[in-house]
Homo-oligomer: A and B are copies of this chain.
Amino acid sequence: MAQLRDLKDELDIVIPTIRNLDFLEMWRPFFQPYHLIIVQDGDPSNTIGVPEGFDYELYNRNDVNRILGPKASCISFKDSACRCFGFLVSKKKYIFTIDDDCFVAKEPSGKEINALEQHIRNLLTPSTPLFFNTLYDPFANGSDFVRGYPFSLREGLPTAISHGLWLNIPDYDAPTQLVKPRERNTRYVDAVMTIPKGTLFPMCGMNLAFDRELIGPAMYFGLMGDGQPIGRYDDMWAGWCAKVICDHLLLGVKTGLPYIWHSKASNPFVNLKKEYKGIYWQEDIIPFFQSIALREECTSVQDCYIELANKVKERLGLVDPYFEKLGDAMVTWIEAWNELNPPPPAQTATLAHPNVAMKN
Interface residues of A (CB under 8 A from B): 108, 131-136, 140, 142-153, 163, 165, 170-173, 175-176, 180, 183-191, 193, 195-204, 232-233, 235-236, 239, 255, 275, 279, 282-283, 286
Contact = CB atoms under 8 A, between A and B. Distances in A.
Contacts of A190: 187-190
8 contacts: A132-B201, A136-B189, A140-B187, A143-B185, A144-B183, A147-B171, A147-B173, A147-B236
Nearest to A189: B191
Contacts of A203: 148
Contact of A172 (B147, B173, B233, B279): B147
Contact of A189 (B142, B151, B171, B189): B189
A176 B153 CA distance: 15
Contact of A196 (B183, B184, B198, B275): B198
B187 A142 contact: yes
Q: Which of A152, A196, A203, A255 has the most CB of B within 10 A?
A: A196
B201 A198 contact: no
Nearest to A131: B200
Contact of A176 (B145, B152, B233, B279): B145
B148 A233 contact: yes
A145 to B, nearest CB: 7
B150 A282 contact: yes
B144 A172 contact: yes
A91 B153 CA distance: 40
Contacts of A172: 144, 146-147
A173 B190 CA distance: 24
